[in-house]
Amino acid sequence: MFKNLMVYRLGPDWSATVAQIDQALAPAVFAECGATQARSAGWVAPRGEAHGALIETINGQWLMQLMVEQKVVPGSVIKRQVDALAAQVEKQTGRKPGKKQRNELKDQALLDLLPMAFTKRVTVKVWIAPDDRLLVIDAGSPSRADEVLTALTQALPGLSAQLVNTALSPAACMAEWLVSGEAPAGFTIDRDCELKAADGEKPVVRYARHALDIAEIREHILAGKQPTRLALTWQGRVSFMLTEALLVKKIAFLDGVFESGGKKEDNFEADAAIATGELAPMIGDLLDALGGEQVFGEAPATAPSQADSAAPPVPATVQANPSAQLAPPASAAARSISAARPPWESDAA
């Protein structure tokens, strides 16, 4: 159900009910691109039903879905059309179009080609945990997540969200796990990672389907390379790729997690309940593994020093971000995302 996770903390002043959100999203419902429209975005029913509710609540979790449609016109096709239009101008005026005129011809060529262009659609799932004031976007890139956030803030006045920030940087933690050969509690290290140097050339080393408990990887880290991606598995139930930007990608639910059969649309509620029920505690454990959440607006405490930690010594290149500080632990709240309390009983409602 989810392939990627970008986790945000909702602002403290925003609140809404399911009915209010459904009503607010209605004016921004998805509509197909017009003949000369290059792009369209809007909200669709998470269940995939025509004219269905734009927000679903399952086990206290709120689910929405944004659809983006874009017309695809290859650059080479646009160039041929511009060349043809420029040839017509030269024939009529006796001179070649300048740079400014060619830009105008490019706009004209695109308008001419859009009605014949193929369309590409992408849907992005949105999950709000109202009791814990968390917003999770199934986006594979920050730009896509920003697009969804823009659509949300336009539809829901007063809504604000900030990316969850951890006391320790993901890159530093991943380096420590690889050097020590020990994954954090509840996790195991899988067989894929990417290491990147910080110098000008930024050389990259990638391991795919390869054992990572080898001296070569430790040598790369000691030489200054930092992990930018690392494959992990949580509790033998969910595998994923963690990035240096705290983006969780390539989520896969392992055997035994989804037991239900039948068609996917017939099991929407069961699949959503299982997916959010698995991912909620995984998010909490991941935040713990990264030193805990640094909550915006709370007075941070100094992060524990390496000397006070029971973890094995880490090379200087693997130290945590010195500017990172540890706020009062938020792990208990993060783990309670899957609470079954109905949303209409939540404080946010």
Assign 3-class secondary structure to 55-114. CEEECCEEEEEEEEEEEECCHHHHHHHHHHHHHHHHHHHCCCCCHHHHHHHHHHHHHHHH
Q: pTM here?
A: 0.76
Beta bridge partners of residue 128, listed in sequence order: 62, 135
pLDDT 10s digits, 11-25: 988 999 999 999 999
Please give the residue range of the domain that contains residue 190.
170-257+284-301+311-345
What DSSP line would sit under 125-183, residue for residue?
Answer: EEEEETTTTEEEE--SSHHHHHHHHHHHHHHSTT--EEE--BSS-HHHHHHHHHHHT-P
Per-residue pLDDT, 55 = 96
223 and 296 in a single domain? The answer is: yes
Instruction: State how far the Cα of 349 lies from the Cα of 34, in Å rounded to an integer.
Output: 37
Helix or strand (DSSP H, E) at 25: helix 18-25
31 and 129 in a single domain? The answer is: yes
Instruction: State how far the Cα of 318 lies from the Cα of 175, in Å rounded to an integer.
Output: 6
240 and 292 in a single domain? The answer is: yes
Instruction: State how far the Cα of 136 lies from the Cα of 151, in Å rounded to an integer.
Output: 14
Instruction: State how far the Cα of 349 lies from the Cα of 278, in Å rounded to an integer.
Output: 24
Q: Using an 8 Å Cβ cutoff, are 174 and 319 in contact?
A: no
Is residue 89 one of the residues assigned to a domain?
yes
Instruction: State how far the Cα of 94 lies from the Cα of 107, in Å rounded to an integer.
Output: 22
Comparing CA positions, the residue from 127, 135, 160 lying closest to residue 14 is 160
332 and 216 in a single domain? The answer is: yes
pLDDT 10s digits, 123-148: 999 999 999 899 999 999 999 999 99
Average pLDDT over residues 108-132: 92
- Please report which confidence band the pLDDT of residue 310 belongs to, taking 50, 70 and 90 as the band edges: very low
Is residue 318 one of the residues assigned to a domain?
yes
- Please report which confidence band the pLDDT of residue 300 belongs to, taking 50, 70 and 90 as the band edges: very low
201 and 175 in a single domain? The answer is: yes
Q: What is the mean pLDDT of the chain?
A: 83
Instruction: State how far the Cα of 237 lies from the Cα of 220, in Å rounded to an integer.
Output: 30
How many domains are contained in the chain?
3
Instruction: State how far the Cα of 259 lies from the Cα of 270, in Å rounded to an integer.
Output: 10
Is residue 272 one of the residues assigned to a domain?
no
